[in-house]
Amino acid sequence: MSLKKTTKRLVSLDVLRGITIYGMILVNNAGACGYAYAPLKHARWDGFTPADLVFPAFLFIMGVSIFLSLNKSGFDWRVSIGRILRRTFLIILSGIALKWVLAWIATGECNTLENLRIMGVLQRLGICYGIVALLSVTVRHRFFPAIIVVLLVGYYLLQLFGNGFEKCAENVVSIVDFAVLGPSHMYLGGAQFVDPEGVLSTIPAVAQVMIGFLCGRIIVGEKEIRTQIVKLAVWGTVMLILGYLWSYGAPLNKRLWTSSFVLVTCGATSLILAMLVYFIDELKKSRWTLPFVVVGVNPLSIYIFSEIVGEAFRKWHWTTLSFDSLWQPLFGNYGGSLAYALAFLLLNWLVAWFLYKKHIYIKL
């Protein structure tokens, strides 16, 4: 299964990973006192905004990273399976623990398990990582495109015949989430009918990671950088076009993680990665990359830190106080909200810079 080619750490991938974490922090903290510019807000239901690209881009990057990492051991399951299972468990456990900490900060109560949200960003990352990594050491990689098609088409058919595009309780995605998770363990107690990182919508998310995996194979398998760039750009364009065409039958929807949404976000991310490889690896223009690399080498730890500190700031009303007394008077409502988000991003970056300078890399 291995291409038997030694892989080195890709600066372009670290930069892209850093950009996505920047995006996560900005999107999750861009609504001080309810004000946020449209690109930093998720689509309410159907539709697509720049904010909707952030999380799927990270899943795509995870797929690339899986290939780069496991290729070093030749995809030998005897060498890799223990590490895969440990990392899967650790990421999922970290996600559940994070939800508990956030609930404790928000409510001040330690016993919040009865209403603890089970799924979440880290949980989806862990589940998708585990499935794709295990497939990569047990299934021939030439079967991956067929598996991706089955997952995306199969999920589309489930939605098509299960009222799966409607925002209602009769939506098959909603039915499965309520049956498996229960409303008390869903996002906002099930008030939006589906969990954004729910059970059934994990199917296309796995396909998202697998597409990233195949793009990682392109990067490792092609010796010429220009060939890497061309293939990433061509496949990115194809996925983008197919995704938008498919959106006429399966609307772009992040909460449902529709199949069209997978193709559009994978296509966009592949194009961005091709551009970064061109500038960084082909043209050797990398002086500007350090601010992104600093975060990109410690992505999940910085994300967890930002979530905890952001929730603490909201609980202690520091967000409102700083907005009312500083950011809003200086920049107005929307500008002040963005200024707060950028200041909060700088705080997280300083933590990432400290870890980077001390050569501390927290792996999950």
**What are the pLDDT digits (tens) for 83-112?**
999 999 999 999 999 999 998 898 877 767
Q: Does any domain span residue 47?
A: no
CB 256 within 8 A of CB 165: yes
Q: Does any domain span residue 48?
A: no
**Whole-number average pLDDT of the chain:** 92
Residues 259, 313 within the same domain: no
Q: Which residues contact 180 (CB under 8 A, 6 or more apart)?
A: 199
Taking phi over 0 as left and psi of -120 to 50 as alpha, with beta for the rest, 193 belongs to left
Query: Whole domain around residue 360: which residue ranges?
Result: 1-41+286-364
Q: What is the largest CA-CA distance in the chain?
A: 61
pTM, rounded to two decimals: 0.92
Residues 82, 202 within the same domain: yes
6: pLDDT strictly greater than 70 = no
CB 272 within 8 A of CB 18: no
Q: Which of 228, 262, 285 is the last residue of a domain?
A: 285
Residues 5, 138 within the same domain: no
Q: Which pLDDT value is given to residue 111?
A: 63
Residues 340, 214 within the same domain: no
Residues 191, 313 within the same domain: no
Give the pLDDT confidence of 143-198 residue by residue, as tens digits.
999 999 999 999 999 999 999 999 998 999 999 999 999 998 888 888 888 999 99
7: pLDDT strictly greater than 80 = no
Distances (CA, A) of 43 to 46, 92, 274: 7, 26, 26
Residues 321, 252 within the same domain: no
Q: Which pLDDT value is given to residue 5?
A: 44
